[in-house]
Amino acid sequence: MMVDVKNPHMNYSWSAHNTTLNLRKAPLRNSHIAKDIGLFLKVFLGSAFLIILIFGAWNAYTLVSAKELLQNSSAKISANFTHSVDALQDLDPERAAAALKDNAAELGKVNAVLARSHADGVMGILGSIIPAFKEGNALLRSVTLLNVYFLRLAEATVELKQHGFSDFQSNGPAFLAELTGVRSAIRAIIDEARTAKNATANLRLVSSYFNSIDDAIGSKYVTHSADLYRADAFLGQLIGLLNTDADRHILFLFQNPAEIRPGGGFIGSYADVTIGQGVMKNIDVRDIYDPDGWFLDKVIPPYQLQTVSENWGARDANWFFDFPTSAKTVVNFLEASRMYAEKGITFDGAIAINIPVMQSMLEATGPIELPEYKLIIDQNNFLAEVQREVEAGKDKAAGHPKKILKVLAPLLLEKMKELGPDAQRAFIKELGERIAKKDIMFYAKDPALMRYILDAGMGGAVHELSQDFEGSYLAVVDANVAGGKTDALVAQSVTATINVDTAGASLTDLTITRDHKGGGKKDPWWNTENKNFIQVLANPGSKLVSMSGNSVKKIIPTFNYETGGYTANPDLAAIDGSRVALAGMNAWVMEEFGKTAFATWFNIPAGKSGALTMRYHTDNTAHTSIDEGSSYRFIYERQSGVPTALSATINAPIGFVWKESGTPTYSYTNADIDGKIDITLTLARQ
C-alpha cells in the first residue's frame, strides 16, 4: 500500500484488516462501539428518568399523605400537650393521662406514615438532600418520647395520688417507689423536652405542624422548665429525708384561727410525726403546754404579750407574720424543751394546718363517731364541739384538755385511707385551695427543700420587695391578745384607695372594718370583746399622716426582764427595737421584714362593728420615671387564718390612664382573697 502522506489520525494496520480503506476519511476503530454505547445510554437514561418519575410521583403522593396527616394531627397533638400540663398543674393526673394517651395514638399514626416513607426511601433521600426533613424525623421521635415521658409522669402521679397517703402510713418501700417514679419521669421530661425544643426552633418555617408543636412545647416546657428543675431537686431532697434508717421528726402545728396570731391561729395543739424508711412510724398528738411546761429557758416575750405572759414559749411563738420565722421559732422552743432535748429529738420541718383544713378532711370522710364523748363530729360542728370539750369538757378537769384531738386524729387518718377516686380528686383540689389561702404552710430546715417551698408559694413568707420596686405593698396583720376565741366570729374587710402622683409617690387612704358577730352565744368564749393588736405593713419608708377609730391600751409589764436573767430572741428584738411611738395617735411605727409597719389596738365589743382609718404617704424610693409604658404594681398579702374581703382602687397620675382599664382608675374587688394578690398596671398618656 503506497501513500504520499500518512494521516496521523488513521490506524493503517487495523484498517487494512478490518475495513475498506478510504484515504479521504479516517474512521475510528471503535465507532460501532460508540454507537452501541450511545444507544445504551439513551435507553438507560430514558429508563432511569421513567423510574425517577414513577419514584418521584409515588414519593410525592407519600409526602402529600404525610403532610396531610401532620396537618390534621398537629393541632390535636399540640392541644393535648397543653391540656396535659394544665391538668398536672391542677393536680388532675387522670385527665392528663387521657390527653396523653390520645396523643400516643395520633403520634403512632404519624410515625407509621413516616416509617413507611423512610422504608420506601423518600425520607432517607430527602433527609440527605434537605436537612430539615431529617431533623423533622428526629423531632417526631423526640416528641413521641416526650409524650411517653409525660404519660409516665401522669401515671406515676396517679399512682402516688391513689396510694401515697395509705402507703405513707403502712408501706414505706411502695411510697418511696412512687416518689422515685415521679422524679424519674420529671428528669426524663427535662432531657427530652430540651432536645425537642431545639429541633422545633429550627423547623418553625418548614411546616405549620412544627410551628404548632414548637408553640406547645415552648409554652409548656420553657415556661415551666424552672418548675421542673425545682421539682426534681425537691423530690431528691424529700426522698433522701424519708429514705433513712434513723427516725426523723416533723411537726404538724394545729393552728386555731378563732384566736389569731400574726403567723396564723393560736397553736393549741401539735403532732410529732416520726418517719423513717418512707413510712410514718408514729403520730403523737399533744397539748402545746406539755413541752412549754418543760421549757426552762427564760425568753422575753413580745411586748404586746407581756401583760399576760411572763415567759415566751412555743404556744405564742408564731408571733411573726413571716411564717418561716414563726416556724423556726416554734421549732427552736420545742427542741430546747427538756421533753425533747433530753431525748436528742430534733425536727426537720413543720407544717401549719388551720381549722378549715380539718373541716375539709371531715367533709371528704364524712362524720366520725366518738363514743367516748357521745359525739358525732363533722365539718360543721368540729370547731364548736372540740372548742367546748377543750374549754369546759371532762378532759380539761382531768388535766388533758386536748385529748379529744388525740382520739380523733387516728380515726380521721384511717378514714382518709378509704377515700375513693372521686373523693380523692375533690379533696386534693380542696387542699390546693387551702394552700392558696395560706391555711396550710410548710417549713423545712433543709435549704434546698425550703427554697422549693418558697418558690412554690407554700411557705407563707413575706414578699421581698426589690430595690427598683415601683408600686404599693399592703398587708393587714391581726393578733388576738386576751380576746377569747372571738376571731372565729369577726368578719374583716379592707378598703384601700391609692393615689399615684406624677413623681411616682402615692397617698393611700385605708379603711379596715371588723364586724364582731358574737354575743348571746351559748359558750362564753365567743361573747367576749375582740382585743386586737393590729399592724399595717406598707412600703419601707412610708409615713403615717393620720389615724382614727383605733383603741387605747397601755401596756405595763409586770416583770423585770433586765434583772430576771431573760434573753432576747434576735428576730423579735430587731422588730421591737425599731418601735417608735407616734405622738397623739396611740400608735407605733416599726420596721419588720423589709416593710414599715403601723401598729395600734383595734378592739371590738361583741355584737358591734368598728372601722379603723388611716392615711399614709409613700415616696418613690426606686426613683423610677413616670411616663408612657411605666409599670405600677399592687401587692396585697393576706394573713393566714383571717378571711378578708378586699376592695382596692388605684388612681393614675394626672394626665395618665391605666391600659388595663382604659381609665385613670383601676379597681379590684374580691370577697375572699387568696394569700397573695399581685397586680401589674401599665400607664398610658391620655
The domain boundary residue, chosen from 189, 217, 242: 242
Residue 323 lies in a domain: yes
The helix/strand/coil state of 278 is: coil
Is the pLDDT at 657 greater than 90, yes or no? yes
Neighbours of 14 (CB within 10 A): 12
Q: Are residues 401 and 351 in the same domain?
A: yes
- 507-563 pLDDT, tens digit per residue, is 999 999 999 999 888 899 999 999 999 999 999 999 999 999 999 988 877 788 888
Q: What is the pTM of this model?
A: 0.82
Q: Are residues 223 and 298 in the same domain?
A: no
- 588-636 pLDDT, tens digit per residue, is 999 999 999 999 999 999 999 999 999 999 999 888 888 999 999 999 9
Residue 497 lies in a domain: yes
Query: Which sign, positive or negative, has the C-alpha torsion 300, 301, 305, 309?
Result: negative
20-24, 382-386, 630-634: segment of lowest average pLDDT: 20-24
- Location of C-alpha cell 413623681: 503
- For residue 647, the model assigns a pLDDT of 98
Question: Per-residue b/e over 77-96, b at no fewer than 16 CB within 10 Å?
Answer: bbebbbbbbebbeeebbbbb
- Location of C-alpha cell 418561716: 324
> From the centroid of its chain, how far is CA 535?
28
Residue from 576, 582, 569 nearest 304 by CA: 576
Between these two residues, 421 and 670, which has the higher pLDDT value?
A: 670
d(CA 459, CA 443): 6
Residue 27 lies in a domain: no
Q: Where are the alpha helices (DSSP H) in 90-130?
A: 93-120, 122-129
73-87, 120-134, 280-294, 357-371: segment of lowest average pLDDT: 120-134
Identify the helix (H) or strand (E) that includes residue 338: helix 338-341
Task: Give strand pairing partners of 647.
Answer: 495, 669
Which DSSP letter does residue 488 get? G
Confidence of residue 474 (pLDDT cuts 50, 70, 90): very high
d(CA 603, CA 600): 10
Between these two residues, 104 and 339, which has the higher pLDDT value?
A: 339
Residue 571 lies in a domain: no
Is the pLDDT at 398 greater than 60, yes or no? yes
At residue 89, φ and ψ (nearest 5 deg) are -65, -30
Which three three-digit cell numbers place residue 90? 391542677
d(CA 422, CA 400): 38
Question: Per-residue b/e over 118-148, b at no fewer than 16 CB within 10 Å?
Answer: beeebbeebbeeeebbebbbebbbbbbbbbb
Which DSSP letter does residue 8 get? T
Q: Are residues 451 and 482 in the same domain?
A: no
The helix/strand/coil state of 248 is: strand
Q: Are residues 275 and 213 in the same domain?
A: no
d(CA 663, CA 672): 26
- Listed in sequence order, the residues at least 6 apart from 684 whose beta carbon sits closer than 8 Å to its beta carbon are 628, 629, 656, 657, 658, 659
CATH number of the domain bearing residue 658: 2.60.40.3680
Q: How many structural domains is the chain composed of?
A: 3
- For residue 218, the model assigns a pLDDT of 61
> DSSP states of 524-586 as a string?
GGGSS-B-EEEEEEESTT-EEEEEES-B------SS-TTTTT-B--HHHHHHHTT-EEETTTT
- For residue 511, the model assigns a pLDDT of 98
The domain boundary residue, chosen from 208, 242, 276: 242
Domain that holds residue 185: 53-242
Contacts 24+ apart (CB under 8 A), 661-668: 668/634
The domain boundary residue, chosen from 400, 425, 455: 455
Residue 144 lies in a domain: yes
- Location of C-alpha cell 385613670: 664
- Listed in sequence order, the residues at least 6 apart from 148 whose beta carbon sits closer than 8 Å to its beta carbon are 104
Which DSSP letter does residue 299 get? B
Neighbours of 300 (CB within 10 A): 22
Q: Cα dist. 271→254, 389, 405, 674 in Å?
A: 8, 19, 10, 27
- Which amino acid does the sequence have at 302? P
Is the pLDDT at 390 greater than 60, yes or no? yes
Between these two residues, 68 and 604, which has the higher pLDDT value?
A: 604
Is residue 681 within 8 A of residue 658, CB to CB? The reply is: yes
Residue 132 lies in a domain: yes
d(CA 436, CA 552): 35
- For residue 131, the model assigns a pLDDT of 46
Q: Are residues 188 and 327 in the same domain?
A: no
Q: Are residues 294 and 427 in the same domain?
A: yes
**Neighbouring C-alpha atoms within 13 Å toward the C-beta of 475:** 31
Is residue 678 within 8 A of residue 666, CB to CB? The reply is: no
Which three three-digit cell numbers place residue 402? 386536748
Is residue 635 within 8 A of residue 557, CB to CB? The reply is: no
Is residue 621 within 8 A of residue 541, CB to CB? The reply is: yes
Contacts 24+ apart (CB under 8 A), 659-664: 659/683, 659/684
- For residue 124, the model assigns a pLDDT of 47
Q: Are residues 476 and 529 in the same domain?
A: yes
Is residue 508 within 8 A of residue 616, CB to CB? The reply is: yes
- 343-381 pLDDT, tens digit per residue, is 999 999 999 999 999 999 999 999 999 999 999 999 999
Q: Are residues 258 and 146 in the same domain?
A: no
d(CA 254, CA 122): 67
- For residue 164, the model assigns a pLDDT of 87
Residue 3 lies in a domain: no
Q: Are residues 534 and 590 in the same domain?
A: yes
- 275-323 pLDDT, tens digit per residue, is 999 999 999 999 999 999 999 999 999 999 998 889 999 999 999 999 9
Q: Are residues 376 and 489 in the same domain?
A: no
Q: How far apart are the first and last CA of the chain?
A: 113
- 211-260 pLDDT, tens digit per residue, is 666 666 665 555 667 778 888 888 999 999 899 889 999 999 999 999 99
> From the centroid of its chain, how far is CA 329?
25
- For residue 328, the model assigns a pLDDT of 98
Residue 533 lies in a domain: yes
- For residue 15, the model assigns a pLDDT of 61
User: Within the chain, what is the greatest distance between any pair of CA atoms?
Assistant: 150
Q: Are residues 141 and 224 in the same domain?
A: yes
Q: Are residues 199 and 78 in the same domain?
A: yes
- Which amino acid does the sequence have at 41? L
